[in-house]
Amino acid sequence: MEISDHPHRNFKIHIIAFLCLSICIAAAGWIFYTREKAYSEKTAGQTLSAIADLKISQIVNWRKERLGNASVISVNPFNNRRIREFLENPSSGDSGDDIRAWMESLQKNYAYQNVLITDTQGKIRLSVGFDKEHKDSQSEISILEVIRTKKPIMSDFHRSETTGLIHLEMYTPLIIEPESRVFGVLIHRIDPNQFLYPMIQSWPTPSPSAETLLIRRNSHNVIFLNELRHQKNTALSLRLPITDKELPASGAVLGVEGIVEGIDYRGVPVLAAIRKIPDTNWAMSAKVDKEEIFAPMFARIRIIWAAGTVLILLMGVFFLFQWKKREAEFYLQEIQERKRAEESLKNSEEKFRSYIDNSPDGVFVADENGRYLEVNRSASMITGYSVSELLSMSIPDLAPPDSLETALNHFQTMKKTGYASSELEFIHKNSTKRWWSVDAVRLTETRFLGFVKDITERKRANNALRINEQRYRKAQEMGHVGNWEYNLKTGLFWGSDEAKRIYGFDPEQTDLSTDEVEACIPEREKIHQALVDLIEHEKEYRLEFEIRPKNSTDSKFISSLAELHRDENGNPLALLGVILDITERKLISDFQSFLVEYDYLRAGEDFFMALAQQIAETLKADFVCIDTLEDENLSAKTLAVWFDGKFEDNLSYALKDTPCGDVVGKTICSFTEGVRHKFPKDEVLQEMTAEGYMGTTLRDSQGQSIGLIALIWRTPLSSVTLAEAILKMASARAAGELERRLIEEERRNLEDQLRQAQKMEAVGQLAGGVAHDFNNLLYVITGYADMMLEDLPPNSVLHNNMKEILQAAQRATTLVRQLLLFSRREAMLMKVLNLNDLISELIKMVRRVIGEHIPLEFLPGVELMNNSADPGQLEQVLMNLCVNARDAMPDGGRIVIETQNISLDAEYCKYNTWAKEGEYVLLTVSDTGSGIPHEIQDHIFEPFFTTKEVGKGTGLGLAAVYGIVRSHQGMIRVYSEPGQGTAFKIYLPATQNRHASLNDEKESAAPLSGGQETILVAEDEESVRTMIVHILKKVGYRVLSAKDGEEAISLFEKHSSEIDLALLDVVMPKISGQKVYERIRSLSDMPVIFSSGYSRGALSFQAFPNEQFDILQKPVSPTALLRKIREVLD
Within 10 angstroms of residue 817's Cβ, the number of other Cβ atoms is: 19
Residue 493 lies in a domain: yes
Residue 754 has pLDDT above 80, yes or no: no
Q: Please give the pLDDT value at position 640.
A: 93
Domain end residue (candidates: 734, 760, 787): 734
| 1006-1037 CB burial, b ≥16 within 10 A, e <16 | eeeeebebbbbbbbbbeebbbbbbebbeeeeb
Out of 635-639, 817-821, 1066-1070, least confident range? 817-821
Nearest Cα residue to 381 out of 367, 365, 397, 360: 360
Domain end residue (candidates: 560, 581, 602): 581
- Is 845 in the same domain as 963? yes
Rounded-to-10 torsion of CA 1009, 1012, 1018, 1023: 60
Residue type, 580: L
Residue 1103 has pLDDT above 50, yes or no: no
Mean pLDDT computed over 890-918: 84
Residue 373 lies in a domain: yes
Nearest Cα residue to 426 out of 408, 414, 442: 408
| 895-931 CB burial, b ≥16 within 10 A, e <16 | bbbbbbebebeeeeeebbeebeeeebbbbbbbbbbbb
Q: What is the spatial distance between Cα 65 and Cα 54, in angstroms, rounded to a whole number? A: 16
* Mean pLDDT of the chain, nearest integer: 82
Residue type, 609: M
Q: What is the spatial distance between Cα 655 and Cα 428, in angstroms, rounded to a whole number? A: 68
- Is 844 in the same domain as 983? yes
Mean pLDDT computed over 944-952: 57
pLDDT tens digits for range 466-482 = 887 777 777 766 667 88
User: Which comes out higher in pLDDT, residue 1020 or 344?
Assistant: 1020
Residue 359 has pLDDT above 90, yes or no: no
Q: Please give the pLDDT value at position 946.
A: 66
Residue 720 lies in a domain: yes
Q: Which residues contact 432 (CB under 8 A, 6 or more apart)?
A: none
Instruction: Give the percent of the chain with pLDDT over 90.
Output: 14
Asked if 424 contacts 438 with a C-beta cutoff of 8 angstroms, the reply is yes
Residue 313 lies in a domain: no
Task: Tell me the CB-side half-sphere exposure of residue 368, using CA atoms within 13 A.
Answer: 5
Confidence of residue 319 (pLDDT cuts 50, 70, 90): confident
Confidence of residue 379 (pLDDT cuts 50, 70, 90): confident
Q: Please give the pLDDT value at position 1102.
A: 44
Residue 622 has pLDDT above 90, yes or no: yes
- Is 530 in the same domain as 601? no
Torsional sign, CA 1043, 1049, 1053, 1057: positive
- Is 590 in the same domain as 558? no
pLDDT tens digits for range 1030-1057 = 888 888 899 899 988 888 888 888 888 8
Residue 123 has pLDDT above 70, yes or no: yes
- Is 833 in the same domain as 954? yes
Chain centroid to CA 791: how far? Answer: 84
Q: What is the CA radius of gyration of the chain?
A: 62
Residue 354 has pLDDT above 80, yes or no: no
Asked if 441 contacts 449 with a C-beta cutoff of 8 angstroms, the reply is yes
Asked if 931 contacts 981 with a C-beta cutoff of 8 angstroms, the reply is yes
Asked if 756 contacts 938 with a C-beta cutoff of 8 angstroms, the reply is yes
| 545-566 CB burial, b ≥16 within 10 A, e <16 | bebbbeeeeeebbbbbebebee
Residue 372 lies in a domain: yes
H or E stretch including 326? helix 290-357
Confidence of residue 968 (pLDDT cuts 50, 70, 90): confident
Chain centroid to CA 246: how far? Answer: 51
Q: Which residues contact 634 (CB under 8 A, 6 or more apart)?
A: 654, 655, 656
Asked if 613 contacts 622 with a C-beta cutoff of 8 angstroms, the reply is no
Residue 623 has pLDDT above 90, yes or no: yes
Torsional sign, CA 265, 269, 273, 276: positive
Domain end residue (candidates: 551, 581, 611): 581
Domain at 537, CATH number = 3.30.450.20
Residue 24 exposed, middle or buried by CB count within 10 Å (0-12, 13-18, 19+) = exposed
User: Which comes out higher in pLDDT, residue 7 or 568?
Assistant: 568
Q: Please give the pLDDT value at position 1115.
A: 72
pLDDT tens digits for range 688-724 = 999 999 999 999 888 889 999 999 999 998 888 888 9
- Is 1039 in the same domain as 956? no
H or E stretch including 99? helix 97-109
Confidence of residue 95 (pLDDT cuts 50, 70, 90): confident
Number of domains in the chain: 5
Within 10 angstroms of residue 447's Cβ, the number of other Cβ atoms is: 14
Q: Please give the pLDDT value at position 249.
A: 87
- Is 962 in the same domain as 1045? no
Q: What is the spatial distance between Cα 512 and Cα 506, in angstroms, rounded to a whole number? A: 10
Residue 530 has pLDDT above 70, yes or no: yes
- Is 536 in the same domain as 619? no
Residue 226 has pLDDT above 70, yes or no: yes
- Is 977 in the same domain as 1055? no
Q: Please give the pLDDT value at position 557.
A: 86
Residue 939 lies in a domain: yes
User: Which comes out higher in pLDDT, residue 894 or 1116?
Assistant: 894
Q: Please give the pLDDT value at position 931.
A: 85
User: Which comes out higher in pLDDT, residue 282 or 26?
Assistant: 282
Residue 239 lies in a domain: no
Residue 17 lies in a domain: no
H or E stretch including 898? strand 895-904
Task: Tell me the CB-side half-sphere exposure of residue 784, using CA atoms within 13 A.
Answer: 11
- Is 548 in the same domain as 599? no
Asked if 40 contacts 300 with a C-beta cutoff of 8 angstroms, the reply is no
Q: What is the spatial distance between Cα 361 and Cα 365, in angstroms, rounded to a whole number? A: 13
Q: What is the spatial distance between Cα 897 and Cα 926, in angstroms, rounded to a whole number? A: 7
Asked if 119 contacts 109 with a C-beta cutoff of 8 angstroms, the reply is no
Phi-psi region of 951 (alpha: psi -120 to 50; beta: other; left: phi over 0): left
Nearest Cα residue to 166 out of 157, 174, 177, 175: 157
Residue 625 structural domain:
586-734
Confidence of residue 814 (pLDDT cuts 50, 70, 90): low
Q: Please give the pLDDT value at position 248.
A: 92
Q: What is the spatial distance between Cα 959 and Cα 943, in angstroms, rounded to a whole number? A: 5
Scanning 582-680, the segments in alpha helix (DSSP H) are 583-601, 607-619, 659-663, 675-678
Mean pLDDT computed over 90-110: 82
- Is 675 in the same domain as 721? yes
- Is 975 in the same domain as 874? yes
H or E stretch including 745? helix 720-791
Three-class secondary structure assignment of 392-439: CCEHHHHCCHHHHHHHHHHHHHHHHHCEEEEEEEEECCCCCEEEEEEE
Domain at 665, CATH number = 3.30.450.40
pLDDT tens digits for range 198-215 = 888 888 888 888 899 999
Q: How far apart are the first and last CA of the chain?
A: 163
Residue 560 has pLDDT above 50, yes or no: yes
Q: Please give the pLDDT value at position 1000.
A: 44
Residue 934 gets which letter from DSSP? G
Domain at 926, CATH number = 3.30.565.10
Task: Tell me the CB-side half-sphere exposure of residue 288, using CA atoms within 13 A.
Answer: 24
Asked if 118 contacts 184 with a C-beta cutoff of 8 angstroms, the reply is yes
Asked if 619 contacts 596 with a C-beta cutoff of 8 angstroms, the reply is no
* pTM, rounded to two decimals: 0.40
Asked if 820 contacts 1095 with a C-beta cutoff of 8 angstroms, the reply is yes
| 160-178 CB burial, b ≥16 within 10 A, e <16 | beeeeebbbbbbbbbbbee
